């Protein structure tokens, strides 16, 4: 069996397993800035398209809840943290790079292009 075929099969098995797992996400934003609003919209769209019914997204404004941001060591906003399923992952920026987010959330294998 070719290496690419093995990798593809392993990813498909992992994807089936993750299809049952609930994702716990936290998005830290800085007020209602255009960048924050774009990040919220981008993450909600990704979640509804790929994780419908199996995710929890907490949006936390670091101006209103600075202690939560300090506890998570947030150094830039927007920042998305994938708490579950493990491994924990962090993404910084406006979340416009869908491919990077999908790969980071283990919803698409690295290097696979979207059909959309």
- Domain limits for position 34: 22-104
CA 60 and chain centroid, separation? 15
Q: Residue 93 corresponds to which tokens in the numbers above?
A: 């920026």
Of 78 and 7, the one with more pLDDT: 78
Residue 68 inside a domain? The answer is yes
Model pLDDT, residue 20 = 75
Domain with residue 95: its CATH number is 3.40.30.10
pLDDT digits (tens, 9 = 90+) for 25-49: 999 999 999 999 999 999 999 999 9
Residue 4 inside a domain? The answer is no
Model pLDDT, residue 109 = 78
For residue 115, pLDDT beyond 60: no
Residue 64 inside a domain? The answer is yes
Residue 1 inside a domain? The answer is no
Q: What's the number of domains the chain is made of? A: 1
Model pLDDT, residue 13 = 63
pLDDT digits (tens, 9 = 90+) for 69-100: 999 999 999 999 999 999 999 999 989 999 99
Residue 9 inside a domain? The answer is no
- Distance CA(46)–CA(40), nearest Å, equals 10
DSSP-derived secondary structure for the chain: --HHHHHHHHHHHHHHHHTTSPEEEEEEE-TT-HHHHHHHHHHHHHHHHHSTTSEEEEEEETTT-HHHHHHTT--SSSEEEEEESSSPEEEES-S--HHHHHHHTTSS-TTPPP--
Residue 12 inside a domain? The answer is no
Residue 111 inside a domain? The answer is no
Of 41 and 11, the one with more pLDDT: 41
């Amino acid at each position: 069996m070719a290496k690419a075929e093995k990798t593809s099969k392993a990813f498909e098995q992992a994807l089936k397993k993750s299809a049952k797992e609930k994702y716990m996400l936290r998005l830290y934003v800085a007020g209602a800035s255009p960048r924050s609003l774009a990040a919220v919209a981008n993450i909600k769209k990704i979640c509804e398209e790929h994780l419908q019914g199996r995710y929890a997204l907490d949006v936390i404004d670091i101006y209103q809840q600075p202690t939560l941001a300090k506890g998570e060591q947030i150094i830039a906003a927007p920042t998305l943290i994938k708490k579950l399923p493990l491994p924990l992952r962090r993404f910084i920026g406006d979340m416009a790079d869908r491919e990077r987010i999908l790969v980071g959330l283990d919803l698409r294998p690295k290097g696979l292009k979207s059909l959309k």
